[in-house]
Chains A and B, each alone.
Chain A
Amino acid sequence: MNRYWNEILYYLTMYWNYEEYWKLYVFVFPIVIFLEIPLYLLIITSYIKKFWNDVFLWSAPVNYFPTVSCIITCYNEGKAILDTIRSLVEQLYKGNIEILVMVDGSDINKSTYLAALNYANKYHAENKYSSRYIRVIPKKLRGGRVSSNNLGLSISKGEIIIIVDGDCSLDNDLVASAVRGFANPNVVGSSGNIRIRNWNASLVTKFQALEYMIGLQLSKTGLAELGMLNNISGAHGIFRKSFIQAIGGWKNGTAEDLDMTTRIKAYLKSYPNLKIIHTYESTMHTDGPESWSKLLKQRQRWDGDLSFLYFKRYRKILRPKNIGWKNLFAIVWYDFMFCLCVPFLTIIYTIWLFFKFSPSFASTMLILTYIYYLFSTTALFFLYLAFVSERKKNDIKFLLYLPLMPIYQYIMRINTAYATILEFVLSTHKDTSMAPWWVIRKTN
């Protein structure tokens, strides 16, 4: 055992000075060089651009306060639905907000329906001239999110539609921030920020909170800056109503949000003036799984959905003539390579290391990999903290958990690989409208 540690120490200190140190790059960084570093560079570039725009390009104060309709699809949240409604009522937005509470399967989810209805009646009795209007719409049949969104779209009165999950809460400036981008008439859709509300519950939720900050908020802000936004999440999406109506609303099937984004992108190819953006200030809070087992299952489901979509359903759509080269490149590179291939490469690389080299050398390589990831994650975290975070005081606490992040990411990659294999071997996925695709991590 002593010898093993001495060898590792030797590799880490003396070895590099004498022998084959070029091997390092070959062994350790094939993944890094081709996939990750360019992404980081891209993100950093986008932030330089954003910083430049924010500081040097003066933009006139927006005087645009259209009526906004928020569509909440809820199921068996019960009284928890009131947190969502209350956080919408609390919005510091000057214009009118119509809150459409769509209770899916209102007969089964009676407690949710009654809780929402009582709240609405009480609110309107106490606030006769409020600019917030709560409508609770019972849907007897369980039609899922797509039918809720489409029904909400048809009865809504607002110019801007915000899609919100039933079990989340919203920052009081969400609507104001979300609407600001739409002052530009060319903007037709926007994604928003999602945070882990229960980050304090366990170590697992703290990891997820970090993951959402760096992996999601930071990279989406960067991708959107480059016009390569991959998806407007179904958990938190903002749309211009007239545009959504023109393209026929949402379509049934798995990942209706990705479907919508892809269709918008196809439309954008013909009308290059139109665009979709990411409003990073528009923050929604949701609960993440609190235990490892629940988290791994959730991710297996998402990864299964993702591989299903790319390998089975979207094979024909994902062509440059449909969505443009830039978007195809973004999808192939980010979603396909980064999210689906990297996990396999990671596993193969680890196995190869231990087969080919002595355990001490293989371990050294893993330690180096860890150091690299620690460094890059920390760098991204600071980038996030400096440019994106709207809760800097709160977020800086997560610095403590950064040293454990590479291990968390490693576990998640193995889990992804496992889920992808499962999807291919067993074809577990069923393409139904009921599929709960609420919160999407990687396609997000």
Chain B
Amino acid sequence: MNLVYIAPTKKDFVIKLLKDYFENVTCFDSIDDFQKSDNEFDVAVFSTLLGMEIIESYIKVARQSDKIYVFPIFFEEDGNFLFYETPIAAAKLKEQVIAIKSLCTEIEHHHYSTWENRILAYFYTRPDFTIAPKLDKQKPMFYYYPLVEQFYDGQEDYFYWLEDMASQNILSKVKLVDRIFCCPYCFSALLKFSDHCPNCGSINIRNEKFIHCFTCGYVGPESKFLKNERFVCPSCKSKLKLIGQDYDRPLENGVCNDCGTYHIESKLKIECLTCHKSCSTEDLSKKLIYEYKLTEYGRNQIRFGTINSINLIVNELNYLEINHFIFNIDWYIKIQRRYPEDYFSLIALKFVLDETTSAYDLILEFSKMLRQLFRTTDLCSKLDINSLIFFFPKSDAQALQSIQNKIQTFLKNISLNKGKFDIKIASFSSTKENISDKSAEELIAAIAGQL
């Protein structure tokens, strides 16, 4: 086996140790020299003296390349070997490399062109490995997954993908690391909190003590009552002397300097520092940060190359299991029979993906577009591994058409920019006549047939 040892200063005892286990040990002074070399290596050992930043940038290049993304890399620090942060005995090095190599052969006939597939392939060859998040206050969600970032170089949020893989049972959630509030639009946790007038939304508000006049019921800030060091009601002019009998302190304590209204509680407004959209506390999303691990089911999926990313879309919408979905539509059909004006529409989509394009980015964009179209009452379900179905209550043929148009426009735009990605569409819009004798199951079957 060919091992390459890259270190600025050679430690003879390290080379001697490596030579005990590996037949060919080549030494390089720098990563540049190593990259220039034409030799094929089975494993690389980087001395940490090279500087972690330089090593990491090399690893990024390696993981994002087409050929060496599963290439085994180890570190050497003070004569000790490390597999990431885990120390590993020199004797175990070779065993590890052999294990990785043999797992590689199991999946090498698949073509892993996307980063999602590459990272899964990498996991496949490193069993017992967990994807752990790291805290970084610079990151929009305060957490990032260093390993994923080695494979993925895009700007988009890859957390969806992890969630998606977990929902497909390809990854399992090993440990809940944190629970953070974030922007409902872009899921950034970099939020700015400020309180506002609930009436006009101004931030120009002040806290003041309030007084409630028992004689006439007027409620106002203390300053309006205070006259010559006495409390006089500005409304009924009565002198307020005894608390509990003439007046009281109500709950109100906020005054708006702009619109002049009073409030008990100011409205908390949250501004996202990433997308600059505002929302209220109820709107905030809660993101759970997990540590992930490849499941046995996932291993099989990778081995047979049957992973897809459609669940990405489903995650962000009101997803129902198909049985519940059918149940809901049946119920709505009954409603429409009684109230004929309550139309509804169904759209089915089939994703035709080319293995060579990075479906992830496209689907992510598509799901974002759908999120904007979707209302909270709309529902979604899966017909099969590549097809989705959507239910739009209170939408007639006209509304349906506008949704379809938007999807078409989206497709036109992305097919210009990115690789091959196609979506087939089938739809149905209810009228008085066409639902009179049909069940939801029949309707869905009919649509699925059109795809």
CB-based nearest B residue for A89: B243
When distances are taken between beta carbons in the complex, the residues of chain B under 8 Å from A87 are 242-244
Q: Indicate if the CB atoms of B243 and A86 lie closer than 8 Å.
A: yes
Q: Does B238 contact A (CB under 8 A)?
A: yes
Q: Indicate if the CB atoms of A92 and B242 lie closer than 8 Å.
A: no
Query: Of residues 336 to 395 in A, which have CB atoms within 8 Å of B's CB atoms?
Result: 390-391, 393
Contact of A390 with B241 at beta-carbon distance under 8 Å, contacts A92-B229, A94-B229, A173-B230 already known: yes
Q: Does A135 contact B (CB under 8 A)?
A: no
When distances are taken between beta carbons in the complex, the residues of chain B under 8 Å from A90 are 243
Q: Indicate if the CB atoms of A169 and B229 lie closer than 8 Å.
A: no
Query: Of residues 199 to 233 in B, which have CB atoms within 8 Å of A's CB atoms?
Result: 226, 229-231
Q: Indicate if the CB atoms of B244 and A173 lie closer than 8 Å.
A: no
Q: Indicate if the CB atoms of A173 and B241 lie closer than 8 Å.
A: yes
Q: Does B398 contact A (CB under 8 A)?
A: no
The number of residues on chain A lying at the interface, defined by a beta carbon within 8 Å of a beta carbon of chain B, is: 18
Q: Indicate if the CB atoms of B241 and A172 lie closer than 8 Å.
A: yes
Q: Indicate if the CB atoms of A169 and B242 lie closer than 8 Å.
A: yes
Query: Of residues 238 to 272 in B, which have CB atoms within 8 Å of A's CB atoms?
Result: 238-245
When distances are taken between beta carbons in the complex, the residues of chain A under 8 Å from B242 are 87, 169-172, 285
Across the interface, A169 reaches (CB within 8 A) one of B226, B238, B240, B244, namely B244
Query: Of residues 87 to 106 in A, which have CB atoms within 8 Å of B's CB atoms?
Result: 87, 90, 92, 94
Most buried by A among B226, B231, B241, B244: B241
When distances are taken between beta carbons in the complex, the residues of chain A under 8 Å from B238 are 393
Q: Does A197 contact B (CB under 8 A)?
A: yes
Q: Does A283 contact B (CB under 8 A)?
A: yes
CB-based nearest B residue for A170: B242
Question: In the complex, A176→B226 CA distance in Å?
Answer: 14
Q: Does A83 contact B (CB under 8 A)?
A: yes
CB-based nearest B residue for A176: B229
Q: Indicate if the CB atoms of B245 and A285 lie closer than 8 Å.
A: yes
Q: How far apart are A141's CB and chain B's nearest CB, in angstroms?
A: 32
Question: In the complex, A317→B229 CA distance in Å?
Answer: 43
Q: How far apart are A323's CB and chain B's nearest CB, in angstroms?
A: 35
Across the interface, B229 reaches (CB within 8 A) one of A173, A283, A391, A393, namely A173
Question: In the complex, A355→B98 CA distance in Å?
Answer: 134
Question: In the complex, A86→B249 CA distance in Å?
Answer: 11
When distances are taken between beta carbons in the complex, the residues of chain B under 8 Å from A176 are 229
Most buried by A among B229, B230, B243, B244: B243
Q: How far apart are B235's CB and chain A's nearest CB, in angstroms?
A: 15
CB-based nearest B residue for A83: B244
Q: How far apart are B448's CB and chain A's nearest CB, in angstroms?
A: 64
Q: Mark B44-63, 1 if CB is under 8 A from A, else 0.
A: 00000000000000000000
Q: Indicate if the CB atoms of B241 and A171 lie closer than 8 Å.
A: yes
Sort A-B residue pairs by CB-CB distance and give the 10 closest, nearest first. A171-B241, A90-B243, A92-B229, A87-B243, A171-B242, A172-B241, A169-B242, A86-B243, A285-B242, A83-B244
* Given A92-B229, A171-B241, 13 new contacts (CB under 8 A): A86-B243, A87-B242, A87-B243, A87-B244, A94-B229, A169-B244, A172-B240, A172-B241, A176-B229, A197-B245, A283-B241, A285-B245, A390-B241
* A interface residue numbers (CB < 8 A to B): 83, 86-87, 90, 92, 94, 169-173, 176, 197, 283, 285, 390-391, 393
* B interface residue numbers (CB < 8 A to A): 226, 229-231, 238-245
9 contacting pairs across A/B (C-beta < 8 A): A86-B244, A87-B244, A92-B231, A94-B229, A169-B243, A169-B245, A172-B242, A173-B241, A285-B242
